[in-house]
């Protein structure tokens, strides 16, 4: 996680996520509405292509052909294949943030375990319903593609949900006390995160938060990509068990 990501993450938390809230804008012109509609259609076709052929084979020309457009016309909306891929990635990260935030809001603020479980289950449900979009952001990277800074905001939005649970646990005196000490070497290994995380979060809580985040997406990926085939029969039950055990590492 880069320093830029962490800086935005902490800012979002301190401002109550207001940095990401959309303000009421003036009515769009007819041209803007048409552009927005066509952009949505381009992205829908591009998602289908990614599902059918994989992100590495995404082609602006092929997308334009399916839309009955010449590729030069589509380039007015997305200047390159990477720009189109970035838009899909931003949408996918945004969808994860949306379901995470909605799940968090559905729980009482004091129900820390309920919030954690609701967020985890919501992300898993979205991933199972949108496996190709999940793979686009948490699967194998596209060779040669470098994500621009425009992908930072939606990534940070979801991270802020999990960090918010940690911060509230700290305020309520409900952070778990890890049985294992956090060595200086471990603290140094997360120096960028430690420098940007709220100062009143103990080192162990920051470390445990990273472990929880990693385990959440690792568990979903293991299920979605078939790594637990012939290992787990009831994925939903096992996932709930996993997330409760991880919660015990973070909360009390």
Do residues 163 and 213 make contact, with C-beta atoms less than 8 angstroms apart?
no
pTM, two decimal places: 0.83
- 27-48 pLDDT, tens digit per residue, is 678 778 888 899 999 999 999 9
Classify residue 251 by its DSSP letter: B
**pLDDT grade for 10, boundaries at 50, 70 and 90:** very low
> At 227, is the pLDDT very low, low, confident or very high (cuts 50, 70, 90)?
very high
Do 220 and 134 contact (CB within 8 A), yes or no?
yes
pLDDT mean over 147-174: 90
Token pair belonging to 182: 């956090």
**CA dist., res. 83 & res. 91, Å (int):** 12
């Amino acid at each position: 996680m880069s320093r830029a990501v962490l800086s935005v993450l902490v800012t979002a938390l301190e401002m109550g996520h207001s940095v990401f809230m959309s303000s009421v804008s003036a009515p769009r012109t007819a041209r803007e509405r048409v552009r927005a509609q066509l952009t949505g259609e381009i992205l829908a076709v591009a998602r289908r292509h990614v599902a059918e052929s994989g992100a590495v084979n995404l082609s602006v020309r092929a997308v334009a052909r399916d839309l009955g457009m010449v590729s030069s016309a589509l380039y007015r909306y997305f200047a390159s294949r990477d720009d189109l891929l970035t838009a899909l990635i931003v949408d996918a990260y945004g969808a994860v943030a949306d379901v995470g935030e909605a799940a968090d809001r559905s729980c009482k603020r004091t129900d820390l375990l309920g919030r954690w479980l609701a967020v985890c289950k919501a992300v898993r449900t979205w991933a199972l319903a949108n496996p190709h979009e999940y793979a686009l952001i948490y699967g194998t990277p596209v060779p040669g593609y470098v994500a621009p800074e425009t992908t930072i905001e939606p990534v940070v939005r979801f991270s802020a949900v999990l960090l918010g649970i940690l911060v509230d646990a700290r305020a309520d005196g409900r952070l778990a006390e890890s049985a294992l000490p956090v060595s200086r070497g471990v603290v140094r290994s997360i120096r960028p995160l430690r420098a940007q995380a709220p100062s009143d979060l103990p080192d162990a809580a920051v470390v445990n938060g990273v472990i929880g985040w990693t385990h959440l997406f690792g568990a979903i990926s293991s299920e979605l990509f078939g790594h637990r085939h012939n290992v787990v029969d009831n994925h939903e039950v096992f996932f709930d068990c996993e997330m409760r055990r991880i919660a015990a590492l973070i909360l009390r």
